[in-house]
Chains A and B, each alone.
Chain A
């Protein structure tokens, strides 16, 4: 490849990476946390204990639903698992527009007063829609655009890398600063290249009805002109999703003839054998009606698809109903790509692998953002005149790369420290998250860059490292107790937080050490990331 093309591609790589880098870093880190969405929610609801038998939970849920909504239009029961001790029941009354839900204690069948929290759901929403709720799909557009930048950055990155195979095993931690950062960037990028590509590409699948609606309109559109349909996709979206989801048998209308629905436990036990795996959720349409239909959905696992296998049963007789629709090959591919991104099928080891790979992706973006600064800094010999753009990029780097993790830790702190009966508690937790994130940006802007790096890294080390202690002081499910009881969810969360804290502590010590060393030498380039003591441009 000619040098000038390579140079242009390198330019594109640097700028595509910079423009979308902060958004992508947040998407990757929040997405990585979302791999353990259920576990995070469980940790943030310490009132819900472990060790619940799913079938007992089902009986309790059924009794509760029969008590509160015997003639609802639809019941749904999400059963507990090792990942999530909560049994959640939801129901929608006939002619009602809202769905109501409750969390149950399996032992007593009573409603649990778990603290109000959004748990891991915050990171999940942040991941693909930036916590923007109005208009709902604006966040989809932002994440879709950022993903396109990611794909551009991956392609140009591969093409500009001169010796992608020859340098595969190269990492020189003791080389010059810029070389080491570049090596680290490549170390995180190249071996996991298939993962980065897969995650970026499949990330478009869940939002494709918004960002690439042409195929959907061609197949599910109506008679209106194309531009009108593009402006208002709701009709096509409804037709598309009902075509994918609905089985005619599951949609049958009520007969308005009362007939008690058979015990769900027997249906679930029978279904679990046929599905070849544990039952994840059960829903009943027209409960206690002669036309009741029970749908049993397998817990995700055993297949890539994001639509786990399901079975239908007649609710009043308990007999299986035929599942008549079978998805088209295209729908199957869509479900597999979607599933690959979500990794709901993953067993614990693969889940940790997704988590580790996601962390590597996030770190790849972080090293890329840092490189942008390091590479350009060399151009400035006069240390007092730093362009505003560079000053801003480094500040945003600090707030994104370390500020976001601190905000995540603060969210966990808020979960444990906010009073349980405060109004709008869940929103307060979320507000804490954003306020702390914003405050890291303020700190980054007020302090010299090298100090700011060391200080925020130190804060992150404390914020994460002290979480096991915080948990021990505010609940009775501390690390020792959970290890003794074999409560691996709680123990895993606490020890992961401690490990992340140690990692940040190591970074902080490194950065502070380097700052001190270069200050002792009296050089003009004393920074943490070797990035000089910049002041703002004024």
Chain B
């Protein structure tokens, strides 16, 4: 199951990245993000992506790990964008849940 954490972290990274976009943030929270909040969301997105890469390389080795990370990041982003387009309010909740589960699985595994 530990492998699933890669996909969860990729989804969470996309959620954070999406919320750092002003228009998307307004759709979800009703107000534009402060510059600080935007920056933090962006940093969170990149950290989550990096964590996913570490996880993949650690689990599968650099070759397969890089391939799987690339696909996971793409699929995670597509899924997130679909969620954000039809159910924008779910984005923060699902993003936080995915991040927590992803990290929990990594730690347990």
Contacts and interface: CB of A to CB of B under 8 A. Distances in A.
A173 B75 CA distance: 19
A188 interface: yes
Interface string B1-45: 001100100000010011001001000000000000000000000
Contacts of A356: 75
B41 to A, nearest CB: 12
Given A171-B82, A350-B64, A192 B3 contact: no
Given A187-B81, A191-B78, A353-B75, A169 B21 contact: yes
Contact of A353 (B63, B71, B81): B71
A172 interface: yes
B98 interface: no
B67 interface: yes
A357 B71 contact: yes
A173 B85 contact: yes
A275 B97 CA distance: 39
B106 interface: no
B63 A336 contact: yes
Interface in B60-75: 60-61, 63-64, 67-68, 70-75
Nearest to B72: A353
A188 B71 contact: no
A303 interface: yes
Nearest to B3: A349
B86 interface: yes
Contact of B18 (A169, A173, A304, A349): A169
Nearest to B67: A340
B77 interface: yes
A278 to B, nearest CB: 17
Interface in A310-328: none
A28 to B, nearest CB: 15
A182 B77 CA distance: 17
Contacts of B75: 191-192, 353, 356-357, 360
B3 A195 contact: no
B49 interface: no
B60 to A, nearest CB: 8
Given A169-B21, A188-B78, A191-B73, A353 B68 contact: yes
A113 interface: no
Interface in A159-197: 168-173, 187-188, 191-195
A435 to B, nearest CB: 35
A303 B74 contact: no
B99 interface: no
Contacts of B73: 191
Contacts of A303: 61, 63-64
Interface residues of B, number: 28
A302 interface: yes
A411 interface: no
Given A304-B64, A336-B63, A194 B70 contact: yes
Given A169-B18, A172-B85, A357-B75, A198 B70 contact: yes
B84 interface: yes
B65 to A, nearest CB: 10
Nearest to B18: A169
Interface string A335-352: 010001000011101100
Contacts of B24: 169
A354 interface: yes
A350 B71 CA distance: 9
Given A171-B85, A172-B85, A347-B3, A192 B74 contact: yes
Contacts of A345: 64
A362 to B, nearest CB: 14
A302 B60 CA distance: 7
Contact of B17 (A169, A172, A302): A169
A173 B3 contact: no
A506 to B, nearest CB: 13
B14 to A, nearest CB: 8
Nearest to B6: A349
A187 B78 contact: yes
A61 to B, nearest CB: 30
Contact of B63 (A171, A187, A304): A304
Contacts of A188: 78
B86 A173 contact: yes
Contacts of A192: 71, 74-75, 78
Nearest to B82: A171
Nearest to B80: A169
Contacts of B85: 171-173
Contacts of B81: 169-171, 187, 191
A195 B77 CA distance: 13
Nearest to B60: A350
B72 to A, nearest CB: 6
Interface in A296-311: 302-304
A205 to B, nearest CB: 15
Contacts of B61: 302-303
Nearest to B21: A169
A195 B78 contact: no
Nearest to A345: B64
26 contacts: A168-B17, A168-B77, A169-B24, A169-B84, A170-B81, A171-B81, A187-B81, A192-B74, A193-B74, A194-B70, A195-B70, A195-B71, A302-B61, A302-B64, A303-B64, A336-B63, A340-B67, A345-B64, A346-B64, A347-B3, A349-B7, A350-B60, A350-B67, A350-B68, A353-B68, A353-B71
Given A168-B77, A346-B64, 10 more contacts: A171-B81, A191-B74, A193-B74, A194-B74, A302-B61, A350-B60, A353-B7, A353-B71, A353-B72, A357-B71
Interface of B: 3-4, 7, 14, 17-18, 21, 24, 60-61, 63-64, 67-68, 70-75, 77-78, 80-82, 84-86
Q: Can you list the 6 inter-chain pairs with the closest CB atoms, starting with the nearest?
A: A192-B74, A191-B77, A304-B63, A191-B74, A171-B85, A169-B18
